[in-house]
Structure 1
Amino acid sequence: MIDALILEGRMVIMIGKNFELIAGAACLNFTNTLGGARGKTNETEYLKNYQDLLNWNLLAGLLSAKQAESLELKSKDHQSEANKVLEKAKELRESIYHIFSAIASGQIPPNSDLVVMNRELEHGLHHQRIVWTLSGYKWGWEEPTELDSLLAPIARSAADLITSADLTHVRECASPSCSWLFMDETRNKSRRWCNMKTCGNRNKLKRFRSRHVRNE
């Protein structure tokens, strides 16, 4: 995990160690910026300020270091606006979570959450451009200059996923103490845990202790 980024000889962005990009889709990774299980006592917020939001976007590859630095400087001059963008980001995150959590359990997503996602799409997609890369032409984004420029790529990722054949691969961690989402790319579609090193191992240990108690 990256601890810091050095730009032009100085540290400009600290990367939150709680951010894990294990979901397989940017929008699902974004929903996982809330740790633990939603509504439970172990719920943990990782997006505590606009800087955290920048950190996640930088780590997820949605911003360059130079772009992150520019938005960081602007956020310090417009703190009230930055705080409002953070709240909008959390609202979008929870709507994306509700949409894909419902889909993962075979239910129809709440329309109110689709409204939130569509609102951000409507607001942000006019910043998209066709750009040339070494691998050919693809969709890209104009230079992000507004503090809320961070939200459009996340909403676009959610829109791409919900309209793709990969939608059937969306899963929610089976642990009762976790609500992280992920893409199940296993051959037999048997993945149950967001991360075997954490939730998977905890469940294995719990089952082992339960069997040990029963055998005593």
Structure 2
Amino acid sequence: MAASATTTGIVLRSYTGTRYRFDPGALCLELLTTGGPGEFRRYEVLHEPADLAVWAERSRLTPTPDVEISEAELAEARLLRDALFRVVRARTADERAAPGDLDVLNAAAARPPLAPAIGPDGARAWAAPATGGQLLATVARDAVELLTGPFAHRVRMCSAERCHLMYVDTSRPGRRRWCSMETCGNRHKARALRARREEG
């Protein structure tokens, strides 16, 4: 599903082919745009280690970490993502997450994350060499912070019927309903307008 990213979100392509920007509000939720378990397997984009490196480049991690990713770490990334998908989805439905999924998430979070550093030019950098395991630990720790923090109750799924993207609502009023106003929000407004005209 992912196409590219900016500082304010990842550019995705909708089922109609429209490109739009999606900002889920957290690094861990950006990983969920790469595919998922069950029916969401058709959106899989993590086919080889380089794909995970590309995702890291498009994510909100700044600067982009230079990571060496093995086949085993790629498999771990898909396992973590699928477990995280189910944990977050349970949160949006106000349900308990499966213990096995929490075990996967907690095991990843317990590993050493990417280590920040100051580069020769004085700018922020990541200590090298960095591994895929460190990248996944960083994502998992972000998930723990989100799901146990002050915005845990604001983790939501897009209200559109055919959209399953999840995000954290960081807006002040806490009334965000759509993954993006460019797509699902605009389609809802267009349908509502047609319905009002038909009633009139």
What TM-score do the two structures reach when normalised by structure 1? 0.68
Output the amino acid matched with 1:46.
V
Confirm whether residue 94 of structure 1 aligns to residue 93 of structure 2: no
Q: CA deviation at 1:39?
A: 2.1
Q: CA deviation at 1:33?
A: 2.4
* Distance in 2 between residues matched to 1:210 and 1:112, nearest whole Å: 45
Confirm whether residue 175 of structure 1 aligns to residue 164 of structure 2: no
Which of 150, 155, 165 lines up with 2:140 in the alignment?
155
Contact 1:21 1:60 in 2 (8 A): no
Contact 2:114 2:134 in 1 (8 A): no
Say if 1:2 and 1:146 are closer, same or farther in 2 by CA, change over 3 A.
closer
Q: CA deviation at 1:64?
A: 4.4
Contact 2:165 2:179 in 1 (8 A): yes
* Distance in 1 between residues matched to 2:34 and 2:27, nearest whole Å: 11
Q: CA deviation at 1:90?
A: 1.4
* Distance in 1 between residues matched to 2:38 and 2:91, nearest whole Å: 17
Confirm whether residue 46 of structure 1 aligns to residue 45 of structure 2: yes
Q: CA offsets per residue over residues 88-137 of structure 1, 9 Å max, x none?
A: 21111121121122112211112111011012123x23x5658679xxxx
Say if 1:21 and 1:192 are closer, same or farther in 2 by CA, change over 3 A.
closer
Output the amino acid matched with 2:25.
G
* Distance in 1 between residues matched to 2:193 and 2:51, nearest whole Å: 38
Partner SS, residue 91 of structure 2: helix
Which residue is equivalent to 2:25? Answer: 24
> Which consecutive unaligned segments of at least 5 residues does structure 1 have?
4-15, 76-80, 134-139
Confirm whether residue 107 of structure 1 aligns to residue 95 of structure 2: yes
Partner SS, residue 66 of structure 2: helix
* Distance in 2 between residues matched to 1:58 and 1:114, nearest whole Å: 27
* Distance in 2 between residues matched to 1:130 and 1:146, nearest whole Å: 13
Larger radius of gyration: 1
Which residue is equivalent to 1:206? Answer: 191
Say if 1:88 and 1:210 are closer, same or farther in 2 by CA, change over 3 A.
farther
Which residue is equivalent to 1:120? Answer: 108
Which residue is equivalent to 1:10? Answer: none
Partner SS, residue 159 of structure 2: coil
Structure having the larger proportion of residues in helix:
1
Partner SS, residue 18 of structure 1: strand
Partner SS, residue 32 of structure 1: helix
Contact 1:40 1:177 in 2 (8 A): no
Contact 2:114 2:130 in 1 (8 A): no
Output the amino acid matched with 2:44.
E
Output the amino acid matched with 1:18.
L
